[in-house]
Amino acid sequence: MSRAPLFQPYTLGPLTLQNRFVMAPMTRTRAPERIPTPLMAEYYRQRASAGLIVTEATQVTEVGAGGMRTPGLHTPAQVAGWRGVTQAAHAGGAKVFVQLWHAGRAHHPSWNARNEQPVAPSAIAVQGPTYTPTGVQPHVTPRALEVSELPGIVAQFVHSARLALEAGFDGVELHAANGYLLDQFLRDSANRRTDAYGGSVENRARLLLEVTDAVAAAIGRERVGVRVSPTGTYQDMKDSDPVALFTYVARELSKRQVAYLHVSEPVAGPAAVPGPRVTPALREAFRGTLILSGGYTGESANAALERGEGDLVAFGVPFLANPDLPERLASGAALNAPDFQTFYTPDAKGYTDYPALGAQAA
């Protein structure tokens, strides 16, 4: 299997990836002070056999956090913490992009020091509960952002992108998926605006493209990727015409020649959406590197690459539970089972204690 497409090097702009495996971004809540820790550095070091690591979602402002103990990248202390992560991952051969995140309406006031209300394109709350320091609470209704505030949102992404280079990252991934702020502006289930940022596909995509342009101008377009989830329903998200919306987004990003478009659209499992997938249309619309994500196995990933459906394949839970995933898939070794109970706990259990093949054989 080592001659299969997954195991071949890949040129991503100025970067040479050691293979076509991408470690997908996964929130793990191991940053108790919002600052990356040595434990996090060890976690990413263990998984540095990936060609590209995209870190867990990382907020660009305190009011952009999407959970407890999630890391940020907007202070000097956070830069120092992330520098330990990038050094560890680079030592193992991986290239590393940080996923930049503003949670928008998915934020809870208890997660910021000033108890500020979350912000969103429209004053529509996420239905259902969230986890806070005082226990399970309902999501709160967000405040609709004024047009005059949007340049400030763009500036927050730019500030974090510049800090990312200081921290040693090879680039940034803009999180426009999974029901967070940029995705909230994109999709009409969350965006009911009647101004220049709502209504038409072009208007709803405006903020994402403004962020993309500003970040690309600050750090270089070859260092900017974008992640979308066209059919994802997490956090009450949907769109009346996802093909029209996301093909427009893909064409616009293609014009800008960003590093890659990362499409999260499950092909199997409970998250798979019935009906035609949007990803093939995005492959046609976007002429750069396309990362596939959503329940792929080694076999299905290689088949998709051979068919030209994408250029790289992201693995989430398999990488979480198998720090040496490329080696295991190359050798046909069994995979570790994930411990779902420790996905979002604060310590090393279920985080850095998954055994590698050598440890299992010893």
Q: Could you give the domains of the chain?
A: 5-361 (3.20.20.70)
Residue 173, strand partner residues: 99, 225
**Strand, helix or coil for residue 28:** coil
**DSSP 8-state class, residue 335:** P
Distinct helix (H) and strand (E) counts, the chain: 12, 14
How far is 88 from 93, CA to CA, in rounded Å? 9
43 is catalytic: no
Read off the pTM: 0.96
Three-class SS of residue 248? helix
> Residue 1 has what pLDDT?
47
In angstroms, what is the C-alpha Rg of the chain? 19
For residue 31, give the nearest of 317, 355, 351 by alpha carbon. 351
- Residue 3: predicted pLDDT: 85
Spell out, as residue ranges, where the chain has pLDDT lower than 70: 1, 268-275, 359-362
135 three-class SS: strand
What span, in angstroms and rounded, lies between the C-alpha atoms of 335 and 143? 45
Give the chain's mean pLDDT: 96
Catalytic-labelled residue, pool 10, 43, 44, 180 = 180
pLDDT at 277: 87
Max CA distance (Å), the chain: 63
Structure-token pair, residue 167: 């921290």
